[in-house]
Structure 1
Amino acid sequence: MHQNRILLWLLAFGLLIVSCDSKRVYDVYKSVPNEWHKDSIVSFNITPPDSINPYNLFINLRNTQDYKYSNLYLIVEMDFPHGKIIKDTLEYRMADPSGKLLGEGMTSVKENKLWYKEGVLFSESGDYTVKIQHAMREIGMVEGIETLEGITDVGFRIETAKKE
């Protein structure tokens, strides 16, 4: 009887966790080993669930205290199934004016959910590819930062845009 109660409690807890993230359609992280090189592209191959519902797209980052900048510049490219390509240069705030890193997390690793695109319709059938690379530069320097420290994981997330 006691085991059944524990099993029911675990099942209820699991359902609660899953229901808290009911908008998630796709959520994948890829590790960045030690440093993120400026030529290293993190790619995600995506098969959208449908072509009629709108979706919100996010870039997810995990970073440590070794990340020493207040912002982050990314180049994000979305390759469509039939050859169309959209390329964006994006800037995100990573720290407040005092230098405290933004993001969620109680440990030294912070997780940032960064808006990429809102209300996207995947109108072309087939697989899409999202490519992400950093585009950081020091002030006054033409050449980009060769290796970026403190980013541990880069992720891509798709959520339903419907209100629940």
Structure 2
Amino acid sequence: MNNSKVLLLVTTVLTLLFSGCDTNDIADSNQTMPSRNWSYANKVKVVVDIPDSNKPYNIYFKLRHTADYRYSNIFVLFNVKSANKKSSSRYEFKLAEADGQWTGSGSGNLFTYTLPMLTQYKFPAPGRYELELEQNMRDNPLKEVSDVGIKVSIVN
């Protein structure tokens, strides 16, 4: 093969590989918690524009905590606000097994989770929505929480 054919082949393969990596994420935010303390007042927000309310979406709670986090679970409030409506739901997420083994992926002293909150969710109408997470544990601030985020993906 001559060089131009090899270059064309490599370019085609790379284009196909990278076009297959589209994740359909419309929002993916992370907020670092000051001094690894998540207070009630430190709400995590993301704004999404929904052009088609017939499409389903998956909405995820993203969390990173240290090995010194003192609970095996976490409670959060998830608020969805539109121009004329607000809804709130409380979720509990299990972060560790009964033996204390963290269920998130570990990297050194940090454990990372991407946990489904709403799957196949259809927004009530097209428009702009503010999605908001707040911690709902008894401790304020909730210590050893490094980062919190929200991820929204279109379901294919």
**TM-score, structure 2 length as denominator?**
0.80
Matching residue of 2:74: 72
**Which residue of the partner structure matches residue 111 of structure 1?**
112
CA deviation digits over 1:11-55, x for unaligned, max 9? 94x975773452423211111111111232111111235322111
Letter of the 1:127 counterpart: R
RMSD of aligned alpha carbons: 2.6
SS at match of 1:124: coil
Q: Which is higher, the Rg of structure 1 or of structure 2?
A: 2
Matches within 5 A, 1:23-42: 23-34=24-35, 35-42=37-44
What is the aligned partner in structure 1 of residue 101 from structure 2?
A: 100
Partner of 1:62: 64
Q: Which residue in 2 is equivalent to 1:152?
A: 146
Contact kept? 1:74, 1:91, Cα under 8 Å:
yes
The answer (yes or no) to whether the contact 2:80–2:129 under 8 Å persists in 1 is yes
CA contact (8 A) 2:51 2:127 kept: no
Is this contact kept in 1: 2:26–2:48, CA < 8 A? no
Q: Secondary structure at the match of 1:40?
A: coil
Which stretches in structure 2 are left out of the alignment for 5+ residues? none
Q: Residues 38 and 133 of structure 1 are in contact (CA less than 8 Å); yes or no, is this contact kept in structure 2?
A: yes
Contact 2:49 2:128 in 1 (8 A): yes
Identity, % of aligned pairs?
26
Q: What CA distance in whole angstroms lies between the structure 2 residues aligned with 1:125 and 1:79?
A: 13
In structure 1, what is the Cα distance between the partners aligned to 2:141 and 2:116? 24
Aligned equivalents of 2:149, 2:130: Cα separation in 1: 13
In structure 2, distance between residues paired with 1:106 and 1:76:
27
- Closer/same/farther in 2, CA of residues 149 and 21 from structure 1, 3 Å limit: farther
- Which residues in structure 2 correspond to 1:123-142 (within 5 Å)? 123-137=124-138
Aligned structure 1 segments of 4 or more residues deviating by more than 3 angstroms: 14-21
Q: Please tell me whether the aligned partners of residues 51 and 126 of structure 2 are also in contact (alpha carbons under 8 angstroms).
A: no
Q: CA deviation at 1:79?
A: 0.5
Q: Which moved more, 1:67-76 or 1:14-23?
A: 14-23
- Cα distance between partner residues in 1 of 2:67 and 2:19: 30
Of Structure 1 and Structure 2, the greater strand share is in 2
Contact map agreement 1:80 1:124 (CA 8 A) in 2: no
